[in-house]
A and B are shown apart, each in its own frame.
Chain A
Amino acid sequence: MAEPKQNLGAPVKRKRAKKRREPSTLLETYGSLGLAIIVLVLWQIAVPLLGLSEFVLPTPWAIARRMVTSAPLLATNGWYTLLEVVAGFGAAVLTGVPLALAIFYSRVFERAVYPLLVGLQTIPKISLAPLLVLYLGYGWGPKIGLAFLISFFPIVISTVVGLQSLDKALVNMVRSMGSSEWQTFFKVRLPAAMPSIFGGLKVAISLAVIGAIIGEYIAAERGLGYLQLQANQQFDTTLNFATVVSISLLGVLLYFAISLLEGKVSYRKESAK
């Protein structure tokens, strides 16, 4: 933890305090963007060069144009998918975090529920989709249900692991100040577990998108998954691709929202690097 440093008078200098613009750092910063552009350009050139029809593989430019012209269609369906994801993920947070607390604080829960939960985790959640349709019908139910189920486990497990990995000496430290367990939880346990919890939330939100889309594949009358199936049936490959891009945009947007929240409520682990 406390690495011995003889630096008494001045704070430890942070690495990367001033960034030199060397070719290597330029490549590090813009490397992925450049690579993406190269791939897109190659794709754009290769399609006419290979004589591929738009039904087989549309060009990136065509997909981009289609995203603009079909924007209202994508937005309306995207909105439904977004609601399903948020509802399923929200339900998973609201039930998963309290369950994690119960597992952490109660020996009975830890002994009885936790192993069962880890065991159930081996069921591929997607294989439950047809059953969910059977039980919950064709409306919101199965989509939200699947988004919930798929994002529930990472939230529970990351929260439990985050709470359990706390250095017990920190608990003794606040206890020596006369801290109640309630105070210990809010002043030490929860903030210390935040990086782990958010790690789980980030995994969960990406999975929740997958859950909702699978739900829409099985049975739906709206949503991006539904729209993609429609495009598929009509051999509208450009719209198909436009849907794929929209789904990933939705995922990126939600991931970004979680990261933003993390920046507000959690702290950065500086020792990691």
Chain B
Amino acid sequence: MTVEQAFREEWAHAVAILTRVLGDLELAEDAVQDAFATALERWPRDGTPRSPGAWIVTTARNRAIDRIRRERVFRQKAELLARLDAMPAEEADVTAIPDERLALVFTCCHPAIAAESRVALTLREVAGLTTPEIARAFLVAEPTLAQRLVRAKRKIRAAGIPFRVPPDHLLTERLRSVLAVLYLVFNEGYAATSGQSQVRRDLCDEAIRLAKLLAVLMPDESEVLGLLSLMLLQDSRREARAGPGGELVLLEDQDRALWSRDRIREGLRVLERAVSLGNAGPYVFQAAIAAAHAEQRPREEIVALYDRLAEIDPSPVVRLNRAVAIALAGDVEDGLSLIDQLAELEGYHLFHAARADLLRRLERRAEAAAAYREALALVANEAERTYLEGRLREVS
């Protein structure tokens, strides 16, 4: 195993264990970082240790001791060193330490942390991405992101955000926050166009990897599997959704030969498991809709799934998507009148884009052009802009 592979597999594990012992995420991260730096020095020279994960944890423990001796005042020193003393010092005993990664995930996604910081923190602490990588993926300046991470870690300590898996009465709400973070990571990568940096598109893989980890740690939560399935199915179309010039290609116009069969199969398998657990939530339904598209099911089935989704999640965006599904199933007029009832979405470019598209199908060209213009005034993504401009030319 190379240090890089060990990093991918063992980073979160080591950070979580050290955070549990030290009660301090910042110190834990620094110590684990030190341990990997030592690994980079030693492993190529001395060979990879028999149990790389255990080696990292014990080395991080020792590095934490060094840091505490150097940096902390006497009162803290004694307490922190006593805690580390209680930790196994032998690699062979490290495997007995329980897995704390789930607590790490929930702490990084605590609602008291600013939403944008939750995403950055999860990518740093759980996925092990570096600060420059996260900054590039989110198109923010590195010092800004570094500052954001420092503030979030300080907040965890200063505000007393607990390091634990929430008790049952908080679990549903907190899990929703965790899943929202993962989906945000995924969408950030999914929205990246082919011209943009690979690190942005890698966010999709990162989100899927995190969801798989979560699915292993919480195997009975149907929404975790629902989100994983949804991401796999969306990701299966990654290559098909952009044309040669990076322009957006809509689902119905995509070259299905470019869809990833493996991703679809995996997505369907995960969905099946999610459904078998019962209690389907919004992610399971969204995954079921994505599956119906992948399997090219009849339009009516897709509308029926949207009906069910809108029952449990009557948010305006869901109602917009349901209206589009109804229109694509043949009732364009009905779809349009449903969209026209969603005035609260007027600041959302896809509201205008969807309206424009239905008006275009109804040959109401002047109204369609006006709606495309409204969408263009709000759109941020280049590929979507190019697409909308093309449509606008068609109807003008």
Physical interaction between A and B: no
Residues of B within 8 A of A (CB): none
Residues of A within 8 A of B (CB): none
